[in-house]
Structure 1
Amino acid sequence: MSPPETRGAPETDGNPSGTPVVDFHGHLAVPAAAALVAGAPGFAAELAAEQRAHSPASMAVNRAQLDRLQPRLTKVSARLADLDAMGVDVQVVGPMPMHHYWTARASAVRLTRTVNEAVAAHCAEEPRRLYGLGTVPLQHPDLAVTALERAVTECGLHGVSVSTNVDGRELADPTHDPVWEAAEDLGAVVFVHPWGCSLGERLATRYLGNTVGQPVETTVALSHLIFTGVLDRFPRLKLVAAHGGGYLPTYIGRSDHAWRVRDDARGCAEPPSAYLRRMWFDSLVYTPRALRHLVEEVGADRVVLGTDHPFDMGVDDPLARLDAAGLAPADRAAVAGGNALHLLLKGRTR
Structure 2
Amino acid sequence: MKIITLEEHVEIAEIKKAVARFLPASREHAYQPPTRQLEDLGAHRLAEMDAAGINVQVLSHTSAGISRIPVAEAIALARAINDQLAETVQSHPDRFAGFATLPTLDPEAAARELERAVTVLGLRGAMIHGQTNNRFLDDPSFRPILEAASALDVPLYLHPDPPSRAVQDAYYAGFDPAVSASFATFGWGWHLDTGIHALRMVLGGVFDRYPSLQLVLGHWGEMIPFYLDRFAQVFTQIARQLQRPVMDYFVQQMYVTPSGMFTLPPFLLVMQVLGAERILYSVDYPFQDAGQAKAFLEHAPISPFDKEKIAHSNAEKLLKLI
| TM-score of the aligned structures, taking structure 1 as reference length | 0.83
Question: Within 5 Å, which residues of 2 pair with 1:1-350?
Answer: 15=1, 20-40=2-22, 43-44=23-24, 47=25, 54=28, 59-60=29-30, 62-63=31-32, 66=33, 68-198=34-164, 199-201=167-169, 202-203=171-172, 206=179, 207-209=182-184, 210-261=186-237, 263=238, 265-277=239-251, 278-284=253-259, 285-312=261-288, 315-345=290-320
For the residue of structure 2 that corresponds to 1:91, the secondary structure is strand
1:244 shift after superposition: 1.8
1:87 shift after superposition: 0.6
CA deviation map 1:175-203 (0-9, x unaligned):
11121111111122211101223332443
Any conservation in 1 of the 2:207–2:249 contact (CA below 8 Å)?
Answer: yes
Any conservation in 2 of the 1:99–1:163 contact (CA below 8 Å)?
Answer: no
- What letter corresponds to residue 172 of structure 2 in structure 1? L
Structure 1 CA distance for aligned equivalents of residues 240 and 225 of structure 2: 19
Structure 2 CA distance for aligned equivalents of residues 249 and 221 of structure 1: 14
Any conservation in 1 of the 2:58–2:97 contact (CA below 8 Å)?
Answer: yes
CA deviation map 1:60-100 (0-9, x unaligned):
2x23xx2x442443332111111111111011000012352
Deviation above 4 Å: which 4+ runs of structure 1? none
% identical aligned pairs: 27
- What letter corresponds to residue 70 of structure 1 in structure 2? R
- What letter corresponds to residue 300 of structure 2 in structure 1? A
Structure 2 CA distance for aligned equivalents of residues 225 and 321 of structure 1: 32
For the residue of structure 1 that corresponds to 2:216, the secondary structure is strand
Unpaired segments ≥5 residues, structure 1:
1-14
1:32 shift after superposition: 1.7
Structure 2 CA distance for aligned equivalents of residues 213 and 137 of structure 1: 24
Any conservation in 1 of the 2:16–2:64 contact (CA below 8 Å)?
Answer: no
For the residue of structure 2 that corresponds to 1:23, the secondary structure is strand
Structure 1 CA distance for aligned equivalents of residues 206 and 212 of structure 2: 11
The aligned length equals 310
For the residue of structure 2 that corresponds to 1:161, the secondary structure is strand
1:346 shift after superposition: 7.1
Structure 1 CA distance for aligned equivalents of residues 65 and 279 of structure 2: 25
| TM-score of the aligned structures, taking structure 2 as reference length | 0.90
Unpaired segments ≥5 residues, structure 2:
none
